[in-house]
Chain A
């Protein structure tokens, strides 16, 4: 370590379910170089100060969506956030907001996984197709309808940005709705009617009050807030169409 080594203070919200009643903050002085991410800062703490510091990470290049955390109160992927941008100020890191803390920076995502499952995230064909009928044909225009919503990496930063999810953890939430919308918009899919029940349910889109911060923090520009709000319109259409057509609307 050279004498000109820069040192940044990283304040971490620690929580050990086996010994702590509630989370507390600990500060670590971390030597860093300009190419070090916040994730590498956390790794430095784990390797040199406290091996029990717990956090999720994998790819280090904003693809896997594992390393999300609150960085100075803002939901970010820690692998693509750099310590140099915060120096010389202290940087605070905390587990993603609105989720229960499992340990240190790790949150309980089981609720989110259940939501992902509930939206039926797969193509539900309109009708049975035989092999002889060949592959589905899709035009670039049809492809453009949904491609944006396929970019989601399930990092759940949008949930950490959504106060309505914080207030009601049952809310299906931005990322799951974006994926639901992705399949509804796919020309090969015919499952929109089945999924509508969830869209209009107590847990559905009307929990959203258009705060819009979810789309702001999304590292992949999925714009999940737009998916939620478009489905408010779809839900309203569905509601009124039910009066006009006995077949229209959800079950």
Chain B
């Protein structure tokens, strides 16, 4: 008869055991803040569709101290999410080869940031022109 009795260790609290996993969980958790901001903007869009009074009401609500604190919290959380999201680029993207040489991970991350900043500035310019 077999004397084998393999012991399976429990997984409870696994993410607290390693700083790498903590960063991962915070990264995943901050996605909720991204969603919260998207909902905030969506509410603004809905209020805009309901007419001028509703839109102005939403604008006023955005100016309240509570809303400003909320937005500061969002800014910090979303910045953390963005930084850790770009950090994952070399893991999640297919290798990029330029002139027969594979790009270094930090170049890939830098390229992602550059593209994001260029797109953001471009969008800002378009909005700026429309607002003029």
Write the residues of chain A forming the contact surface with B, with a CB cutoff of 8 angstroms: 15, 17-18, 22-23, 73-74, 97-98, 100-102, 108, 141, 163, 166-167, 209-213, 215-216, 223, 225-226, 229-230, 232-233
Query: A210-B92, A211-B21 known; 10 other A-B pairs, CB under 8 Å?
Result: A15-B7, A17-B4, A23-B7, A98-B11, A102-B4, A213-B18, A213-B20, A223-B91, A229-B93, A233-B94
22 CB-based A-B contacts, threshold 8 Å: A17-B5, A17-B6, A23-B7, A23-B9, A73-B18, A74-B18, A101-B6, A102-B4, A108-B6, A141-B100, A163-B21, A166-B14, A210-B88, A212-B88, A213-B20, A216-B20, A223-B91, A226-B90, A226-B91, A226-B92, A226-B95, A229-B92
Compute how far the CA of A233 lies from the CA of B94 in the bound complex, rounded to whole angstroms.
9
User: Does chain A have a CB within 8 A of B8?
Assistant: yes
Q: Which of B11-37 contact A (CB under 8 A)?
A: 11, 14-15, 17-18, 20-21, 24, 28
Instruction: Kindly state whether residue B129 has any CB partner on chain A within 8 Å.
Output: no
Q: Which of B76-105 contact A (CB under 8 A)?
A: 88, 90-95, 100
Query: Distance (Å) between the CB of B36 and the closest chain A CB?
Result: 21
Provide the residues of chain A in CB contact with B90, threshold 8 Å. Answer: 226
B interface: dominant SS:
loop
Q: A73-B17, A211-B24 are in contact. Are A229 and B9 (CB under 8 A)?
A: no
| Pair A163/B5 contact, Cβ less than 8 Å | no
Contact check, A210 vs B91: say whether CB atoms are below 8 A apart. Answer: yes
In angstroms, Cα B88 to Cα A63, docked, is 29
Whether the pair A100, B8 counts as a contact (CB closer than 8 A) is: yes
Q: B17 and A230: CB pair below 8 A?
A: no
Contact A97 B9 (CB under 8 A): yes
B3 at the interface (CB under 8 A from A): yes
Q: Are the CB atoms of B11 and A230 closer together than 8 Å? A: no
Q: How many residues of B are counted as interface, with CB atoms below 8 angstroms from the partner's CB atoms?
A: 24
Shortest Cβ gap from A52 to chain B (Å):
13
Shortest Cβ distance from A198 into chain B, in angstroms? 20
Give the chain B neighbours of A223 by CB distance below 8 A: 91
Determine the chain B residues whose CB is within 8 A of the CB of A23 once the complex forms: 7, 9
Residues of B within 8 A of A232 (CB): 92
- How far apart are A19's CB and chain B's nearest CB, in angstroms? 10
Asked whether A100 and B7 contact (CB < 8 A) given A73-B18, A74-B18, A163-B21, the answer is yes
Looking at the assembled complex, report how far the CB atom of B4 sits from the nearest CB atom of chain A, in whole angstroms: 6
Q: Using Cβ atoms and an 8 Å threshold, which residues of chain B touch A97?
A: 9
Q: Which residue of A lies closest to B6 (CB)?
A: A100
A215 touches B91 (CB 8 A): yes
Which residues of chain B are near A225, meaning CB under 8 Å? 91
A166 and B10 CA atoms in complex are apart in Å by 9
User: Chain B residues with Cβ under 8 A from A102's Cβ?
Assistant: 4, 6
* Known contacts A211-B21, A213-B18, A18 near B11 by CB under 8 Å: no
Query: Which B residues lie within 8 Å of A233 (CB)?
Result: 94
Q: Which of A108, A163, A226, A229 contacts B15 (CB 8 A)?
A: A163
State in angstroms the CA–CA spacing of A156 and B28 once bound together.
26
Task: For the complex, give the distance between the alpha carbons of A1 and B4 in Å.
Answer: 39
Residues in B neighbouring A17, C-beta threshold 8 A: 3-7
B101 to chain A, nearest CB (A): 10
Which partner residue on chain B sits nearest A215 by CB separation? B91
> Smallest Cβ distance from B46 to chain A, in angstroms?
32
Closest chain B CB from A55 CB (angstroms): 15
With contacts A210-B91, A211-B21 known, is A163 near B6, CB below 8 A? no
CA distance A98 to B18 in the complex (A): 14
